Structure 1
Amino acid sequence: MSFLIRTPADQIKPYFSEAAQTHYTQLFQHFPILERTYFPFEKNFHAEPFVNFAKATWPALPLALCTLYALMIVVGSRVMKNRERFDWRGPLAYWNLCLSLFSFCGMLRTVPHLLNNITTLSFRETVCTSAAKAYGEGACGLWVMLFIFSKIPELVDTVFIVFRKSKLQFLHWYHHITVLLFCWHSYATESSTGLYFVAMNYSVHAIMYGYYYLMAIKAWPKWIPAHLITVAQISQMVVGTSLCVASYYYKKDGLACAVEWENVTSGALMYGSYLYLFTEFFVRRFLYPAKSKAKTL
């Protein structure tokens, strides 16, 4: 099991980021056998131009995107009010498949990197070490960047709901808007907690969109109970809220932590609201569905 052999830390020559003026190491440096699985463009990725773009366009561009998104919902719903729904089952299936595969690839790059950090650093270091040094450069940094800006095309999820005249839940559009804003701000401020959020979201989305794909092609995945998807989402919100609380206490105690107060508080509010909304959805959908139906009659 040679893939488990870890290179001693004193034998690793870290990469150096000119932009961030800091050294960083990549997962394949710890486990050399993995290097053959990385593309050169991944290994040589530098985040500086993308971080600078996020900084230069915050908050104007993400707010503009969210405004256009909200207008699409309002106008699209009115346009479709007296029209027949579009089926679009085929495009929806392939859309979900693409998002599932994208998320799976992102999971393969970010989760192992996070696990390596967890096993080699203290918990505070994994929460508070600067993004440039801990995860923001190289292969992991590339997939973090792709995650951040993937929140824009993910808004297409709602286009399918509106034009197929499916029920649009508050949780759906609220989640899309707040995630886009929070992710953009986190990347612009190079939040130290970002890798946790990215790795969790990639993992949950790989399963969730894969499930939606199977549903769209009517290959009912009975071996994946629907409630497990929501349980995974709730678990993600519990961890996300806990990380925000942890970073709050580290900063409050005067310890060095490379995450801004604004990001900590907005993250706590966002994940806390998600935790409530997803839990409420779980109770209404799976525990007491009869009562929910009765209220709508």
Structure 2
Amino acid sequence: MEMNGTELHLSEYGFERRFDERGAIRWMQENWSKSFMFSALYAALVFAGQHYMKPRPKMNLRLPLVLWSLSLAVFSIIGAVRTGSYMLHILSHGGFRQSICDQSFYNGPISKFWAYAFVLSKAPELGDTAFIVLRKQKLIFLHWYHHITVLLYSWYSYKDMVAGGGWFMTMNYTVHAFMYSYYAARAAGLRVPRPFAVLITSSQIAQMVMGVTVSALVYRWMQQGDCHSRLDNITWATLMYLSYLLLFSNFFYQTYLRPLPKTTKTQ
């Protein structure tokens, strides 16, 4: 389904208007499988990097980390504002069902550029892990599993312009806007109140709940001919978001709720 007249109500920047979404979608249809190559290379470099750093002292990298996190924060903030404005427009003019099933997010004003920027950004975002490895911080399964699966699913889905993408991308932009801002502040040595970290993880959990909900609604409305998707895509999306929900919930418990082990005092 298409939202008619959308362009009459939203102002675009020149680069958004000139963006060739048809060429972008065609490129992704021809090259999306390269995401497997990126993922394999990423995994190899991560574990080889850990092996390389094991006998070596950790690196500081404070300034590069500040710049890296800040650049991703700015990108995510702008992406959240632009895609959010488009989603609010569809919600206000077409309702909730339209916001999920409408494919115009991939080719509409404003959103078409930021949809493509979103899926492409999942490749450079793999660089997050380099800082963890080089600074010899603890690398948890959730971190690298999340990076790989988001890259694979984003590229896999964009090429088919599946329903639900507007929600998936806008939510992720928004959460990343807060998350990378937090990382940048911490890297700069600023003291960030603990509730802010709790809020970020809580928003990630809420994102996963909404991801499962949107996937279920796409499946339901696809049966009625309203939502463009495929059963295999919905299956992968549901499994992905459910696994994230479990992993992020466990992370929340282990980090913020689990009682600290009692220490035995010695005389």
Q: TM-score range by the shorter chain?
A: over 0.9
- Matching residue of 2:24: 50
Whole-angstrom distance in 2 between the partners of 1:23 and 1:254:
18
Q: How does 1:65-214 map to 2 (within 5 A)?
A: 65-129=38-102, 131=103, 133-214=104-185
Cα deviations across residues 181-235 of structure 1 (Å, max 9, x unaligned)? 0100111111121110111111110111001111011111228531111001101
| CA root-mean-square deviation | 1.9
Cα deviations across residues 105-146 of structure 1 (Å, max 9, x unaligned)? 1011100110111121133222222x2x34423321101110
Distance 1:289 1:211, change over 3 A: farther
Question: Secondary structure at the residue paired with 1:225?
Answer: helix
Q: How does 1:208-247 map to 2 (within 5 A)?
A: 208-222=179-193, 224-247=195-218
Larger RCO (CA within 8 A; separation ≥ 6): 2
Cα deviations across residues 19-77 of structure 1 (Å, max 9, x unaligned)? xxx785446x225xxx3xx3212123231111111111132x00000000000011101
Q: Which amino acid aligns with 1:200?
A: M
- Matching residue of 1:264: 234
Q: Which amino acid aligns with 2:111?
A: C
Question: Secondary structure at the residue paired with 1:290?
Answer: coil
Distance 1:178 1:292, change over 3 A: farther
TM-score of the aligned structures, taking structure 1 as reference length: 0.83
Whole-angstrom distance in 2 between the partners of 1:48 and 1:291:
56
Task: Give unpaired runs (5+ residues) of structure 2.
Answer: none
TM-score of the aligned structures, taking structure 2 as reference length: 0.92
Whole-angstrom distance in 2 between the partners of 1:289 and 1:211:
25
Whole-angstrom distance in 2 between the partners of 1:111 and 1:138:
12
Whole-angstrom distance in 1 between the partners of 2:3 and 2:221:
24
Task: Give unpaired runs (5+ residues) of structure 1.
Answer: 1-21
Whole-angstrom distance in 1 between the partners of 2:3 and 2:150:
30
